[in-house]
Structure 1
Amino acid sequence: MQQRRQQASGACQEERQPQDESKEHSVKTTPQSPSRRGCYFSLAFSIGSMGLACGSLWQIPNSSDRISLQRGLVLTSLGFIYFVSLTDFCNKYLLETSHGQRFRRKYRLMMSDVLEITNKIVSAIQASFSFLVGLIVCKSTCTKSFVYASHFLMEAYGWFGTAYFMYDIWSMYKVHTQKLADKLHLLRITKGQGSPLSNGHANGKVNGQSSGGNNNGSTPGTPHEICDYDGACVQIPKDGRWDFLKYVITHPVMMIHHVFIGTFGLLVVTYIRGGGHCIYSYMFMMEFSTPFVSLRSILSTMRLKDSRVYIANGLLMLATFFVCRVCMWPYVMWRYSLAIEAASMWAAMCGLPRGCLVSIAILFLPQLYWFYLMVLGALKVFLPQKRRPPNAMLPATSAATPIPTALKNGKN
Structure 2
Amino acid sequence: MFHALVCGAVVFPGLFYAFRKTLKHSFRQWSDADVVSVSERSFIVFSYPINLHMNLPYPIVLCLHIINVDWVSHWLVNGFVVFGAPYMVHDIYAMYLSHYHVQRVRGQSRSYSSHSLQTVKAFVCKEWMLILHHLALLLVFMPITLFFRRGLGDFFIGCLFITEFSTPFISMGKILIQLGLDDTRLHRLNGIVVLLSFFTCRIAIFPFMYWMYGWQFGIPAHKVAFHLPLQCNVGNMAILAPQVYWFILLLRKAKRLYQRQKRGKEDGSKDRPRTD
Q: In the alignment, does 2:85 pair up with 1:162?
A: yes
2:68 and 2:36 mapped to 1: Cα distance?
43
Instruction: Please say if residues 147 and 275 of structure 1, whose CA atoms lie closer than 8 Å, have aligned partners that are also in contact.
Output: yes
Root mean square deviation of aligned Cα: 2.2
Q: In the alignment, does 2:70 pair up with 1:147?
A: yes
- Choose from 323, 326, 329 the match for 2:203: 326
Alpha carbons of structure 1 residues 156 and 347: separation in structure 2 relative to 1, 3 Å: same
1:298 and 1:329 mapped to 2: Cα distance?
29
Q: CA deviation at 1:164?
A: 0.5
2:7 and 2:121 mapped to 1: Cα distance?
27
Instruction: Please say if residues 148 and 275 of structure 1, whose CA atoms lie closer than 8 Å, have aligned partners that are also in contact.
Output: yes
Instruction: Please say if residues 299 and 310 of structure 1, whose CA atoms lie closer than 8 Å, have aligned partners that are also in contact.
Output: yes
1:128 and 1:86 mapped to 2: Cα distance?
13
Instruction: Please say if residues 112 and 179 of structure 1, whose CA atoms lie closer than 8 Å, have aligned partners that are also in contact.
Output: yes
1:149 and 1:162 mapped to 2: Cα distance?
24
- Where 2:106 maps in the other structure, the secondary structure is helix
Aligned to 1:5: none
User: Considering only CA atoms, is the larger Rg found in Structure 1 or Structure 2?
Assistant: 1
Aligned to 2:9: 80
Report the AA paired with residue 15 of structure 2: L
- Where 2:200 maps in the other structure, the secondary structure is helix
- Choose from 111, 115, 128 the match for 1:239: 111
Q: In the alignment, does 2:46 pair up with 1:117?
A: no
Q: In the alignment, does 2:187 pair up with 1:310?
A: yes
Alpha carbons of structure 1 residues 73 and 354: separation in structure 2 relative to 1, 3 Å: farther
Deviation string, structure 1 residues 201-248 (Cα, Å, up to 9, x no partner): xxxxxxxxxxxxxxxxxxxxxxxxxxxxxxxxxxx4853364324422
Matches within 5 A, 1:121-270: 121-142=42-63, 143=65, 144-184=67-107, 236=108, 239-240=111-112, 242-270=118-146
Deviation string, structure 1 residues 289-336 (Cα, Å, up to 9, x no partner): 112111101011122211111111111111111111121111111111
**Larger relative contact order (CA 8 Å, sep ≥ 6):** 2
2:53 and 2:147 mapped to 1: Cα distance?
20
Aligned to 2:271: none
Q: Relative to total residues, which structure has the larger helix share, 1 or 2?
A: 2
Instruction: Please say if residues 124 and 291 of structure 1, whose CA atoms lie closer than 8 Å, have aligned partners that are also in contact.
Output: yes
2:46 and 2:180 mapped to 1: Cα distance?
22
Instruction: Please say if residues 130 and 285 of structure 1, whose CA atoms lie closer than 8 Å, have aligned partners that are also in contact.
Output: no
Alpha carbons of structure 1 residues 323 and 249: separation in structure 2 relative to 1, 3 Å: same
Deviation string, structure 1 residues 62-98 (Cα, Å, up to 9, x no partner): xxxxxxxxxx2332232112111111111111113xx
TM-score by length of 1: 0.58
Q: CA deviation at 1:125?
A: 3.0
Q: CA deviation at 1:386?
A: 5.3
- Where 1:383 maps in the other structure, the secondary structure is helix
Instruction: Please say if residues 130 and 287 of structure 1, whose CA atoms lie closer than 8 Å, have aligned partners that are also in contact.
Output: no
Q: 5+ residue gaps in structure 1?
A: 1-71, 185-235, 388-412
Alpha carbons of structure 1 residues 130 and 362: separation in structure 2 relative to 1, 3 Å: farther
**Larger displacement relative to structure 2 (264-273 or 305-314):** 264-273
Q: 5+ residue gaps in structure 2?
A: 265-276
Number of aligned residues = 257
Aligned to 2:273: none
Alpha carbons of structure 1 residues 179 and 255: separation in structure 2 relative to 1, 3 Å: same
- Choose from 150, 161, 174 the match for 1:284: 161
Report the AA paired with residue 172 of structure 2: L
TM-score by length of 2: 0.85
Alpha carbons of structure 1 residues 263 and 126: separation in structure 2 relative to 1, 3 Å: farther
- Choose from 225, 234, 243 the match for 1:358: 234
Aligned to 2:270: none
2:46 and 2:73 mapped to 1: Cα distance?
25
